[in-house]
Amino acid sequence: METSFIRETVVFKIAYFFSVSLLIFCGISSGSPPKDPFWDLREKMVTHQIIARGIKDLRVIEAMRKVPRHLFVPEDMRGSAYDDRPLPIGEGQTISQPYIVAFMTEALHVSPGDTVLEIGTGSGYQAAVLAEIAKEVYTIEIRPRLGERARERLNGMGYGNIAVKIGDGYKGWPEKMPFNAIIVTCAPQEIPKPLVDQLAEGGRMIIPVGERGGVQELVLVRKEKGMIRQEAVMKVLFVPMVTDEGITAR
């Protein structure tokens, strides 16, 4: 009897252990969101700022949902990272409003096999969103400190398909051309010819164009059968593009 009781007790403890372990495992792998204090804010941003305003590309929506925007803003501004507005990131530059990031990304019709060039790395947020969709992202930042911080941040987050270059974005990155898509997050007064030349056939470019200090036109450029087609799609306000001589690009 005693032996039977001991055997039953051992069996009960083993069964209890496996039951508890199974419950813990199921809780971990149930598909619930990770313990991210910004998860709810990011979901609200996607729902109310992105989807509600007409963004339909599922790849763009999922990229905006995945990339932790709060890691791309100064630490003392992380509570505002998912607000419906641009935020300062230092050196007179900003991280764009979430909707603008999503709108410009969707306008480019980026596909998983695409190579994309970004002019104006800033914090690296737009590059990260693009890297969730594209094969490769090449991004240029003219301000060394911003560029180095962005490179360190993106490398630390595991973005192996992003290359950051410190240099003059007006000139593009001819060694890596042609590009399926080009996104420009600073405003020249005219569309730079080097960027147009670096577009692949069938390529798209989205770029704000206008005078410094004024409202600009967000222009969608397409290269089709050697012809360049332009379409103004939205009024915007971006920081001006500057060259490596420190002057505003025309």
Identify the CATH number of the domain in which residue 218 sits: 3.40.50.150
Q: Are 207 and 217 in contact (CB under 8 A)?
A: no
| Short-list 205, 215, 212, 210, CA closest to 184 | 205
Residue 192 lies in a domain: yes
Q: How many domains does the chain have?
A: 1
Residue 40 lies in a domain: no
In sequence order, what are the beta bridge partners of 223?
A: 228
Residue 7 lies in a domain: no
Is the CA virtual torsion 104, 108, 114, 116 positive or negative?
Answer: negative
**C-alpha to C-alpha distance for 212 and 88, rounded to whole angstroms:** 18
In one letter, which amino acid is 115? T
Active-site residue, selected from the candidate residues 21, 80, 96, 111: 96
pLDDT band at residue 225, thresholds of 50, 70 and 90?
Answer: confident
Residue 52 lies in a domain: no
Say yes or no to pLDDT of 136 above 50.
yes
Domain containing 136 equals 87-93+100-236
Active site residue 96: yes
Output the pTM of the full model.
0.84
Residue 147 lies in a domain: yes
Residue 73 lies in a domain: no
Residue 142 lies in a domain: yes
pLDDT band at residue 219, thresholds of 50, 70 and 90?
Answer: very high
Lowest mean pLDDT among 35-44, 93-102, 127-136, 172-181: 35-44
Residue 215 lies in a domain: yes
Q: Are 211 and 199 in contact (CB under 8 A)?
A: no
Mode of pairing for the β-strands spanning 199-209 and 179-184:
parallel
**C-alpha to C-alpha distance for 71 and 89, rounded to whole angstroms:** 11
